[in-house]
Amino acid sequence: MKKSTTLTFVLLLLYTHSRSQQTRISEIGISQLFIWNRTTIHDIYSGSRTADRTGDSWSVGTNVNYSFSLSKNFYATVGAGYYNQRFNIHRGFDFHEPNVVSGIFYTTKNYAYKSLLYFGGLGYRIHITPTRKATFPANSEIRLMVLYNAFSTFRQEFRHNFDDNFLGNPNPMVRKTNYHFGSSITVKGGLLCPLSKKIKAGVDLVLPVYNRWRKDFIFKENPDDYYGADFSIGMSLNLIYNLN
């Protein structure tokens, strides 16, 4: 799955590079992403004492993206980066005790899936005309975009509620497994202003409207099933360099 995703992404980059030669804009951007999630899971680890458990947390990521015009106002973006999806949910899990095997019931304090992020999307640009009541730098824009994101996790961390070196066992427990973790669809919009002839900076409000995360066997779940967030919202800070 990871190899096929990478190949698809490379082919997209080659296509967009050739396409950009005939378009009006050609930009490289760097974005810092902050997303707040509230998530409810159905904890089945305790058998007959199953219950819904809810937690909220911030997840962060950094990516590099390339944008090119499709028409006067429409444009497309593809990119890749790093994303750390974090959950602050207390639930039982299969903690591996490498040094002292105690058989103690371990629960998570928090856990996270560190992933490679691949994405693509379509956007719309609205040029702002300065007025007496609202003055913006020349060539400022409002940008709206819909993105599809795919997450390929390579490192999973599970922090339990005991001390960091409880009975000589590590905290968090780290698992290094590569697999497709999930996907999301996000809608975002914000203001983009020029800092110089070639450089622009901006901030976006980000609203994930769909999240799909793979369940984990470490919680005695079926890894072929998925779950999502109750609610997500966030922001991204963007720095863009014009290649034209």
Q: What is the mean pLDDT of residues 167-192?
A: 95
Six-digit token string for 136: 């913006």
Specify the pLDDT at position 134: 62
Q: What is the mean pLDDT of residues 224-233?
A: 97
Residue 92 vs residue 5, higher pLDDT = 92
Q: List strand residue ranges (DSSP E) for the chain, in order.
A: 26-43, 51-69, 74-87, 108-127, 141-160, 173-175, 179-194, 199-214, 226-227, 231-242
pLDDT confidence of 202, banded at 50, 70, 90?
A: very high
Q: What is the pLDDT of residues 154-165, one digit of tens each?
A: 999 999 988 887
Please provide residue 131's backbone torsions phi and psi, each rounded to the nearest 5 degrees: -125, 175
> Using an 8 Å Cβ cutoff, are 90 and 41 in contact?
no
Specify the pLDDT at position 139: 80
Specify the pLDDT at position 81: 98
> Using an 8 Å Cβ cutoff, are 62 and 31 in contact?
yes
**CA nearest neighbour of 94 among 205, 218, 4:** 218
Q: State how far the Cα of 50 lies from the Cα of 31, in Å rounded to an integer.
A: 40
Specify the pLDDT at position 130: 67
pLDDT confidence of 244, banded at 50, 70, 90?
A: confident
Residue 138 vs residue 226, higher pLDDT = 226
Please state whether the peptide bond connecting residue 172 to the residue before it is cis, i.e. omega within 30 degrees of 0: yes
Of 14-23, 84-93, 108-117, 198-207, which gets the smallest average pLDDT? 14-23
168 by Cβ neighbours in 10 Å (0-12 / 13-18 / 19+) ranks as: exposed
> Using an 8 Å Cβ cutoff, are 226 and 213 in contact?
yes
Specify the pLDDT at position 138: 77
Q: What is the mean pLDDT of residues 98-126?
A: 92
State the pTM of this model. 0.86
Domains of the chain: 2-242 (2.40.160.20)
Q: State how far the Cα of 214 lies from the Cα of 57, in Å rounded to an integer.
A: 18
**CA nearest neighbour of 170 among 90, 238, 106:** 106
- pLDDT above 60 for 21: no
Q: What is the pLDDT of residues 72-90, one digit of tens each?
A: 899 999 999 999 999 999 9
What is the 8-class DSSP label of residue 17? H
**CA nearest neighbour of 123 among 236, 5, 4, 18:** 236
